[in-house]
Amino acid sequence: MARMTMIEAIRSAHDLAMERDERVVVFGEDVGYFGGVFRCTAGLQKKYGSSRCFDAPINESGIVGAGIGMAAYGLKPVVEIQFADYMYPAYDQIVSEAARMRHRSAGQFTCQMVIRMPTGGGIFGGQTHSQSPEALFTHVSGLKVVVPSNPQDAKGLLLAAIEDPDPVIFLEPKRLYNGPFDGHHDRPVVPWKAHPLGEVEDGPYTVPLGKAAIRRPGSALTVLAYGTMVHVAEAAAEDAGVDAEVIDLRTLIPYDLETITASVKKTGRCVVVHEATRTSGFGAELSALVQETCFYHLEAPVVRVTGWDTPYPHAQEWAYFPGPDRIRRAFKAVLEG
């Protein structure tokens, strides 16, 4: 066991995957010699050579498109889009190609590929370094979508994603790269070494895709969250003294409906939290699923706490980011509703 940041855990997953399978190939902008703008691929080129880990031209469609061609050949590309905000040029390749390949070729061609991208706000990233575009992927049949919330999961989920036969969108909340963040931006940053989930096995292990984790057991209400918002929801529960059950979805597609419904049927109340904008966000899907499957157990309407339906602002960061106060108010609403 070792203490790792999320960055180190992700780097370790790459390292182990490359070590045991020479078909694993890693590339993207600045990921080679330099080791990535967030250091997630540091040292890999030196260890495995520049034909296994290399820098790519600044062309997201090219990065994903070339990766798809490699996957069709039989390699297992793990590619990086520097920020999720910059995945849009690759969207055609992701939606029309990676996601559809197995279906449209009736299994002749497949796309075993991981597309990593740092996501989320809370870092004064402004419009193009803060977005959470997960709903643009969850809406696409054929993709799997993963969002880890801690180093332990990040490593296990990434190793599972690399071995998964389907294309996986792997969204890494960059706000969590160096330490957990509970939304209290006015308090000092806490490093991962002080958090139990910063304890990571040295060797390979997997966290299965499609399985949620209960981060905080409770009976008063259920919180459905992922990524940074898991920590914010936990803090909100502590701050408010509410016995909330916080579920970390970990995988958005395929989602773990069993864990979700078991919790909501127990608590009778549900708050959905995400950083992404509200309208047609993944929270709408979660809310609808809860309504469809737990209708007779619900004591109050499902409430969503999300980013506003605006572009992500710079100066107004903390008025935009769904922090503990807003979540507390949502708790109050569902408990009184």
Partner 1 sequence: MTAPRPLSLHVPEPGCRPGDTPDFSDFEIPRAGAVRRPAIDEAPEDMRDMAFSVVRVLNKAGEAVGPWAGLLDAEALRTGLRHMLTLRQFDERMLKAQRQGKTSFYMQHLGEEAVSCAFHMALQDGDMHFPTYRQAGLLIASGYPMTDMMNQIYSNAADPLKGRQLPVMYSARDHGFFTISGNLGTQFIQAVGWAMASAISNDTKIAAGWIGDGSTSESDFHAAMVFASSYKAPVILNIVNNQWAISTFQGVARGGAVTFAARGHGFGIPSIRVDGNDYLAVHAVASWAAERARSGLGPTLIEHVTYRAGGHSTSDDPSAYRSKEEFSAWPLGEPIDRLKRHLITIGEWSEERHTQALAEITDEVRACQKKAEANGTLISGPKPSPRSMFDDVYAEMPPHLQRQRQEAGF
Which residues contact partner 1 (rule: CB under 8 A)?
25, 51-52, 56-57, 59, 61-62, 65-70, 72-75, 77, 89, 92-93, 96-97, 100-110, 141-142, 144, 164-166, 210, 253-255, 257
**48 or 177: CB nearest partner 1:** 48
Question: What is the nearest approach in angstroms of partner 1 to the Cβ of residue 24?
Answer: 11
Strand runs (DSSP E) across the chain, as ranges? 2-3, 24-28, 53-55, 76-80, 114-119, 144-146, 168-173, 199-200, 213-216, 221-225, 244-248, 251-253, 270-277, 303-307
In 3D, which of 269, 267, 275, 265 has the Cα closest to residue 302? Answer: 269
Question: What is the nearest approach in angstroms of partner 1 to the Cβ of residue 58?
Answer: 9
Question: What is the nearest approach in angstroms of partner 1 to the Cβ of residue 89?
Answer: 7
Residue 275, helix vs strand vs coil: strand
**43 or 254: CB nearest partner 1:** 254
Q: How many CB atoms lie within 10 A of CB 57?
A: 9
**76 or 269: CB nearest partner 1:** 76
**103 or 332: CB nearest partner 1:** 103
Order the strands of the 303-307 sheet from edge to edge: 213-216, 244-248, 221-225, 270-277, 303-307
Question: What is the nearest approach in angstroms of partner 1 to the Cβ of residue 246?
Answer: 22
CA–CA gap between residue 280 and residue 271 (Å, rounded): 16
Q: Residue 239: which H helix or E strand, with range? A: helix 228-240
Question: What is the nearest approach in angstroms of partner 1 to the Cβ of residue 74?
Answer: 7
**144 or 174: CB nearest partner 1:** 144
Strands 199-200 and 2-3 come out as antiparallel
Active site residue 129: yes
Catalytic residues: 129
